[in-house]
Amino acid sequence: SQSAFSLQQHPPSPPQPPPLFIMGASKTITIIMHLIMAVAFIAILVPDVYWAKVGDDKISLWKNCSSVEGSSEVTCDKYAIEKSDIKDEHKAMIDGARASCTLASFFALVAFAVTLCDRKFGAVFCSFLVAVFATTAVGTFAVFMKANKIEWEGGDGGDRTYKPAMGLIVAACTLVVSYLAVITSCCVSRNSDYENIA
């Protein structure tokens, strides 16, 4: 029939991959996100970058600083990495936050490299790991804060409520970026996609 002849002359065209500029933009955005996350998670590991504070009382992943009543002096107790920390549930949470930040930064760099090489599966997988460790970092610190709330009661019987400081704010923002990076990494093309377009 005429319709069959028409199909033979003009067979249906195969589905076309997304335009090159879209895949290129996704790759660039993903690379930038991973660089930002790698730097951010290393930055918030610095001992003087505090995650929570109230007045002169501040907490980072390495030390707890508090003001001495009746004076302007501030003393700091360090959270050491010791075997005894394993038996201390509170300190173990801090260790978990440190480890999560370190691993998140590491896998962000790996994701940066594999994205640069157009390895889509590796980019998605590493981006997912970054999101997992970013979530763990924020979660373990939140658990640490909640577990220690009783110890932070003021002399007047009220709770001394710590507010998020730079470290926790950056960690939370980077957490959001990590999940966005998972989405954008799914749009990164493989080498074969570029070859098909070419």
pLDDT at site 38: 95
Mean pLDDT per block of 10 residues along the chain (198 residues) reads 48 52 69 94 92 84 79 72 54 86 95 88 93 94 74 46 86 94 84 44
What is the tens place of the pLDDT at every residue in 104-157? 999 999 999 998 888 888 899 999 999 999 999 999 988 888 776 544 444 444
pLDDT at site 154: 47
Burial of 97 (0-12, 13-18, 19+ CB in 10 A): buried
pLDDT at site 151: 44
pLDDT at site 14: 54
**Whole-prediction pTM value?**
0.73
Task: Give the up-direction half-sphere exposure of residue 141: CA atoms within 13 A in the CB hemisphere.
Answer: 28
Question: CA angle at residue 179 from 162 to 183, to 5 degrees?
Answer: 165
pLDDT at site 68: 72
Q: Which residues touch 33 (CB under 8 Å, ≥6 apart)? A: 177, 178, 180, 181, 184
